[in-house]
Amino acid sequence: MTPVSTPAFYVTTPIYYVNGDPHIGHAYTTIACDVLARFKRLDGFRVHFLTGTDEHGQKVAKSAAERGIEPIAFCDEVSALFRNLAQALGSTNDDFIRTTEQRHVESCQELWRRLEANGHIYLDKYVGWYSVRDETFFDEGELTAGPDGTRLAPTGAPVEWVEEESYFFKLSAWQDKLLELYDSNPDFIGPKSRFNEVRSFVAGGLRDLSISRTTFSWGIPVPGNDRHIMYVWIDALTNYITGLGFPKEGEAFKTFWPESHHIIGKEIIRHHCVYWPAFLMGAGLPVPKRVFAHGWWTAEGDKMSKSLGNVIDPYEMIERYGLDQLRYFLLREVPFGNDGDFSQTAMGQRTNGELANEFGNLAQRFLSFIAKNLGGVLPEPGALNEDDNALLSACHLLLDQCRDAINQQAFHSALDAIWLVVRGANVYVDKQAPWTLRKTDPARMNTVLYVLAEATRHLAILMQPYVPSAMAKLLDQLGVAEDQRSFAFLGEAHALKGGITLPAPQGVFPRYMPGPGQEAK
């Protein structure tokens, strides 16, 4: 049983709308959260990782109507696609939430009741603009001119004029409390640029928020007035506490909520960093620990869209390059937080240049050397020289460097640090040239091979969150037992023992060879 003192960590993806099929953007956030969850588990944390689907609202109701089926049948179908994608990505989520589940209805209604009881909700009429695509209300001043005198939301989505009776949340009353929250918790929002964006939005003044609709019925009924359904965002955001058993504030809630990390795309930062903490504070609940907004992917230089037909299918990428390769590429190519472009040329280059050549070859060179020349027995090292110590100390420093980076969600920085050592290890092999030492100084050759194995053990253990299947194979080949692969086994105290027989080596990162018609565009 996990001891009670084990630190906890809670990570969530946004819950994805079921009005469209999953694509690479959804895969990106899920993979990032999975890397975070795996890293923390390996680092001794008790982790809860939640993902799921956002199934209510006007947009979903419209999509179901277009298909001519009941909304719930439509949701069942598309939600399953997201669930399957998570699995195909190797996601280790502990739960998959659907907002149409009864547990979630109860949770939302309880949150509403608490807000109402605390005097934060009033009934009035909403008159203004609404974007169905963003499921968001916009002020006149935020809109831009569209074609033929129409208006567009800042996201480019069309807006419609709405006039209907609505419940409102007194968001305007939360300005000072929110500013106080940001100022006393500089890590509440990452990256820093987003923090500043949110802070100045709130400092500019807040208007009360319409939180119910009456003109369609696909949503959670407002307690005590079922002519109204809840605004889809109050419903959606609440998933994060439903997933911990709310309205019960039991063990899961108490353990994980104070350690909650929401990873989202930059377009939904306002909902997560303004509305959500205000709802929670209004209901007398603690706010999440941190919200990190990453950037957006374009495809070969263009915005991904169904109409352009350039939406990148994660399954196709897995099929073509491999799952570990896709996971690595997404977190390596672009600093987490920045926008990036998904180019297959870059994907092919990272797959071959970094994974196959730099990392894969490093391991295969010494492992096959040991297999061929030493009967597969890992040699005992002799005295270590300066070069050996330099490489091993660089390995020993990696955990702290990766931890610092991962705690900031700087997935790319952790990879940069690891890659410096991968490159250093390649320089080391070339300089030490064990193939020459075999004839001139076999004892020194033994030391070099051992140092390479021990360095690779460190690299493989630390790379597990990113490329789990390849690293499982590599650690097998290094003779590292499955229960000795957590970060607690990094460092000298658990170094490999010379004299063990290693299994037959085999490549862990195959080279990508474009098939006919698959040459990078």
Residue numbers at the binding site for ligand ME8 (CB under 6 A): 14-17, 25-26, 28-29, 54, 236-237, 239, 264-265, 267-268, 296-297, 304
Residue 322 structure tokens:
């491999």
| Smallest distance, ligand ME8 to C-beta of residue 149, A | 28
Nearer to ligand ME8, 210 or 477 (CB): 210
**Which residues on adjacent β-strands are paired with residue 8?**
46
| Smallest distance, ligand ME8 to C-beta of residue 29, A | 4
Nearer to ligand ME8, 15 or 318 (CB): 15
Nearer to ligand ME8, 276 or 450 (CB): 276
What gap in Å lies between CA 98 and CA 20, rounded to an integer? 15
Nearer to ligand ME8, 236 or 452 (CB): 236
| Smallest distance, ligand ME8 to C-beta of residue 297, A | 4
Q: Is 348 exposed, middle or buried (0-12, 13-18, 19+ CB in 10 A)?
A: buried
| Smallest distance, ligand ME8 to C-beta of residue 133, A | 9
The DSSP element (H or E) to which 12 belongs, if any, is: strand 8-12
Bond into 514 cis (ω within 30): no
Secondary structure of residue 81 in the 3-state scheme:
helix
| Smallest distance, ligand ME8 to C-beta of residue 37, A | 16
Nearer to ligand ME8, 141 or 309 (CB): 309
Nearer to ligand ME8, 16 or 366 (CB): 16
Angle between helices 24-42 and 71-88 (to 10 degrees): 50
| Smallest distance, ligand ME8 to C-beta of residue 311, A | 9
3-state helix, strand, coil in the chain (%, to 5): 50, 15, 30
Residue 439 structure tokens:
């004839």
Nearer to ligand ME8, 57 or 360 (CB): 57
Residue 384 structure tokens:
């270590």
Nearer to ligand ME8, 340 or 507 (CB): 340
Nearer to ligand ME8, 339 or 380 (CB): 339
| Smallest distance, ligand ME8 to C-beta of residue 261, A | 14
**Which residues on adjacent β-strands are paired with residue 340?**
297
| Smallest distance, ligand ME8 to C-beta of residue 435, A | 46
Name the CA dihedral angle for 352, 357, 358, 363, rounded to a multiple of 10 degrees.
Answer: 130
| Smallest distance, ligand ME8 to C-beta of residue 257, A | 15
Nearer to ligand ME8, 79 or 239 (CB): 239
Q: What angle do CA 289, 290, 295 make, to 5 degrees?
A: 165
| Smallest distance, ligand ME8 to C-beta of residue 448, A | 44
Determine the residue with CB nearest ligand ME8: 25
What gap in Å lies between CA 331 and CA 278, rounded to an integer? 32
The Cα-based distances of 420 to 242, 280, 490 in angstroms read 42, 43, 18
Residue 207 structure tokens:
């208007």
What gap in Å lies between CA 17 and CA 154, rounded to an integer? 20
* Alpha helices (runs of H) in 323-360, residue ranges in sequence order: 323-333, 344-349
The answer to whether the CB of 126 falls within 8 A of the CB of 137 is yes
What gap in Å lies between CA 478 and CA 420, rounded to an integer? 21
